Amino acid sequence: MADLTGTTVAFLLTDGYEDSELTSPWQAAVDAGATPVLVSPAEGNVTGEKGHSQKVDLPVSEAKAGDFDALMLPGGVGNADALRLDTDAVGFVRNFFGQHKPVGVICHGAWILADTDVLAGRRLTSFPSLQTDLRNAGATWVDEEVVVDQGLVSSRTPDDLPAFNAKLVEEMGEGKHEGQTA
């Protein structure tokens, strides 16, 4: 496992996220030595689909991709749908790609990528219901446990979390990827 000491990871989410898709990658980042920060358009706490509640550390309207080393986008239908409609969230995500930084997306978390203009020529996976949106945004969608494409790490469901977490930590340890572009 990569040593991520000194690495700061933004977790972008709002109410309605899939609980395990926050808590499991968060713990993997902590276990590797990274500092996770919960970024959200919501204030106070955010609550997952199954009731997990966690404090928001930073409003997305004040967050800057330059202050972080990597980005993690958990899924959850309500969370993903709300984020893609938030212009601050869309801009925040796009800036990680423009700065060539690692980005992890799982399940419905990939939905916002269809609105960021970063998918042309990229290969990824997601929850199957997103494949048409992601293909329409220029991506090659595949049905695999975990897909890595130049710093973009993607998986389908919570069942994929062990493989996803390992690859996410590995990509964060590698740092910037020139092929990770907006």
Q: Which residue in this structure is represented by tokens 């991520």?
A: 4
**What one-character-per-residue DSSP string does the chain give?**
----TT-EEEEE--TT--HHHHHHHHHHHHHTT-EEEEEESS-SEEE-TTS-EEE--EETTT--GGG-SEEEE---HHHHHHHHT-HHHHHHHHHHHHTT--EEEEGGGGGGGGGTT--TT-EE---GGGHHHHHHTT-EE---SEEEETTEEEESSGGGHHHHHHHHHHHHHH---TT---
108 is catalytic: yes
The catalytic residue among 52, 100, 108, 177 is: 108
177 is catalytic: no
Kindly state the tokens that stand for 103.
Answer: 């980005």
Residues with a catalytic annotation lie at: 107-108
